[in-house]
Amino acid sequence: MSDLKPADLAKDAAARAAVALVEPGMKLGLGTGSTASVFVRRLAERVAAEGLELRCAATSKATADLATSLGLKIETLDELGWLDLTIDGADEVDPDLNLIKGGGGAHLREKIVATASDRMVVIADKMKVVEHLGEFHLPVEVVPFGKEATKKLIERVLDGHGLAGRPVKWRNGPEGGPFLTDEGNVILDLYLGRIADPEKLGRDLSSIAGVVEHGLFLNICQLAIIGGEDGSVVELEREDIG
């Protein structure tokens, strides 16, 4: 991967460090997005070079397609049952290793896979590390049926969090129509700014019937590998916190 742009070097540094965590025989969850894709490429290189025996589940059709094209065999999460390790990217990482995910709309499957794993490790470039979650929009996956009523209920939740009037926008797909997730749902992006109480916001959003899943990943990630453009990596562990 000598043709990497400088901005991708940080992702590659984090991905390479994550590949070193993979052990023979592991059941592995593969994340979604540009950083997770670099990891999948590096993993495929190691598997080819070492003949590593692994079993992998993907968090999206896109990742499954990429992995398969690189010679990795993808099985369903149900076939694997439980995973040893999931490696994924993130849109924001806070000092407690809480995350915003779903910039690519894959956070539902990503959360199912991450929480069915003994360990979730996030790989990211330095730009993703924030003091407080919320500068990146918060994606919420919503069932299409009655979506405008669900939007009203979400706005009511935001009022209760002192976030009244913050923009909320249905995400569009590449063709201009609504973005559809792998599960056939739509995404409402919440442009909130600083989220003062992510735990409560997450609970309140999850209590709405039409909400399938939000992009707050709280107390799920155990390790964040943060890459720098100079190829350096910094590891932040959950045990280090507090």
Ligand X SMILES: O=C[C@H](O)[C@H](O)[C@H](O)COP(=O)(O)O
Query: Interface with ligand X by CB under 6 A: which range of 26-34, 65-73, 148-156, 183-191?
Result: 26-34
Query: Interface with ligand X by CB under 6 A: which range of 18-26, 67-75, 89-97, 197-205?
Result: 89-97
In the block, residue with structure tokens 């999948």: 40
Helix (H) or strand (E) holding 143: none
Pair of tokens at residue 50:
């070492």
Q: Distance between CA atoms of 146 and 152, rounded to whole angstroms?
A: 10
Q: Which of 13, 67, 72, 106 binds ligand X (CB under 6 A)?
A: 106
| Residue 107 binds to ligand X (criterion: CB under 6 A) | yes
| Residue 102 binds to ligand X (criterion: CB under 6 A) | yes
Which SS3 state, helix, strand or coil, does residue 127 take? helix
Q: By C-beta, is 72 or 87 nearer to ligand X?
A: 87
β-strand pairing of 186-190 with 138-142: antiparallel
Q: By C-beta, is 159 or 183 nearer to ligand X?
A: 183
Smallest distance, Å, CB 137 to ligand X?
11
Q: Distance between CA atoms of 231 and 233, rounded to whole angstroms?
A: 7
Q: By C-beta, is 5 or 50 nearer to ligand X?
A: 5
Q: How many CA atoms lie within 13 A of 70 on its CB side?
A: 22
101 and 112 Cβ atoms separated by less than 8 Å: no
Q: Distance between CA atoms of 224 and 227, rounded to whole angstroms?
A: 10
| Residue 171 binds to ligand X (criterion: CB under 6 A) | no
Q: Is 91 annotated as a binding residue?
A: yes
Helices (H) and strands (E) in the chain, counts: 7, 13
Smallest distance, Å, CB 224 to ligand X?
13
Known catalytic residue: 237? no
Which positions make up the binding site for substrate? 32-35, 88-91, 101-104, 128
Which positions make up the binding site? 32-35, 88-91, 101-104, 128
Interacting residue ranges for ligand X, rule: CB under 6 A: 31-36, 88-91, 101-107, 110
